[in-house]
């Protein structure tokens, strides 16, 4: 969102209201990013609560219902594939607002993933689709979305890296954690289909524990993952890992950039590492970001069949292709606004 809001200042035709659902209730997973990335304080924010996936979406939608009744928006812009994205999309359509989806068209073709359901629904409700890579264009066309709605503009998350590269480089997080460049592996684990399964999360942390025999392994532990580890009684699997809390954007990207490589089940980190030229091991059977695998920077590993030595082999080889992907630059938001400026709303 940060590059989009930054570019919006150059387009006074548009008056934006920022709605923050506080999907991430932990301030280290939310507020810190507003502060670091210079995003203005939200005009409207609420804490919907809820425990289950569907309950959270329903409560967010219910809160937005009142917001949309009180404000006459012409359109709503949603980002990514999270619960907030779907709730915002449903609220927009329910109140006859045009819907713009940034990061449209990505598909893992795995309906077990809540994010995949969100992506598909939002894309088929949207009036404009801004796409990060060619596979997204192909997916949308295959699903019957009209060509005039689809715009390949590049990756807005990569634009963030380019905008804030100096601040990322200036981070002193390595010194604070006493880590040496290329002497450690960075890990992130948070995906619901992994953390909701005691067997899956045990397999993953056993793999990380094995990796820690060869390299220091640092993991900024997601609050949800931490709760599940405690619930399943698996705290001992953390003993040989460097466990830290969620961290800011600049520190995290600095850790990723200087690492030997990253082990993750995330989506966006696959893209960030590919752009930074860092090898990534994705603990999943599929990815909605195939360009990262085509480059070779990212490789998929099944959590049920993978050994730590296979991961290390990929991380140490570092034999992937150029990290320069078309349209993954600092002009993504500019291209988005070129379309919005000519859009009749």
The catalytic residue positions are 190
Sheet strands side by side (includes 75-79) = 75-79, 98-104, 128-131, 150-152
Q: What is the DSSP string of 140-179?
A: HHHTT--GGGEEE---HHHHHHHHTHHHHHH--HHHHHT-
Going across the sheet that includes 261-264, the strands are 242-244, 216-220, 184-188, 261-264, 280-282, 298-300
Instruction: Give the span between the Cα atoms of 76 and 298, in whole angstroms.
Output: 33
Q: Are 4 and 333 in contact (CB under 8 A)?
A: yes
Instruction: Please name the residues in contact with 1: beta carbons below 8 A apart, sequence gap of 6 or more.
Output: 39, 79
Q: How far apart are CA 262 and CA 284, in angstroms?
A: 14
| Interatomic CA distance for residues 78 and 313, integer angstroms | 38
- Going 312 to 316 to 320 to 325, the CA torsion angle's sign is positive
CB-CB contact of 256 with 272 (8 Å) = yes
**DSSP SS3 for 199:** helix
| Residues forming a β-bridge with 263 | 187, 281
């Amino acid at each position: 969102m940060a590059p989009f809001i930054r570019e919006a200042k150059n387009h006074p035709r548009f008056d934006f209201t920022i709605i923050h659902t506080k999907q991430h209730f932990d301030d280290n997973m939310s507020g810190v990013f507003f502060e670091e990335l210079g995003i203005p304080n939200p005009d409207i924010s609420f804490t919907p609560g809820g425990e289950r996936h569907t309950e959270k979406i329903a409560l967010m939608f219910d809160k937005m219902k009142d917001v949309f009744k009180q404000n006459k928006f012409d359109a709503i812009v949603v980002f990514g594939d999270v619960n907030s994205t779907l709730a915002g999309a449903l609220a927009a359509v329910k109140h006859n607002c045009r819907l713009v989806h940034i990061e449209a068209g990505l598909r893992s073709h795995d309906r077990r993933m809540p994010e995949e359901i969100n992506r598909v629904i939002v894309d088929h409700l949207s009036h404009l689709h801004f796409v990060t890579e060619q596979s997204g264009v192909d997916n949308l066309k295959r699903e019957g979305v009209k060509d005039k709605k689809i715009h390949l503009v590049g990756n807005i998350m990569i634009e963030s890296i380019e905008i804030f590269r100096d601040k990322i480089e200036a981070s002193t997080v390595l010194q604070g954690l006493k880590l040496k460049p290329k002497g450690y592996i960075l890990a992130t684990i948070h995906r619901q289909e992994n953390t909701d399964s005691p067997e899956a999360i045990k397999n993953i942390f056993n793999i990380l524990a094995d990796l820690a025999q060869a390299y220091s392994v640092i993991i900024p532990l997601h609050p949800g993952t931490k709760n599940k580890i405690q619930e399943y009684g698996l705290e001992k699997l953390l003993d040989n890992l460097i466990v830290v809390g969620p961290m800011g954007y600049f520190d995290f990207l600095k850790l990723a950039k200087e690492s030997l490589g990253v082990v993750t089940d995330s989506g966006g980190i696959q893209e960030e590492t590919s752009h930074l030229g860092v090898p990534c091991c994705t603990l999943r059977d599929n990815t909605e970001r195939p360009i990262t695998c085509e480059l070779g920077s990212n490789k998929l590993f099944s959590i049920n069949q993978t050994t730590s030595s296979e991961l290390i082999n990929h991380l140490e080889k570092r034999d992937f292709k150029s990290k320069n992907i078309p349209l993954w630059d600092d002009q993504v938001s500019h291209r988005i606004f070129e379309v919005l400026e000519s859009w009749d709303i």
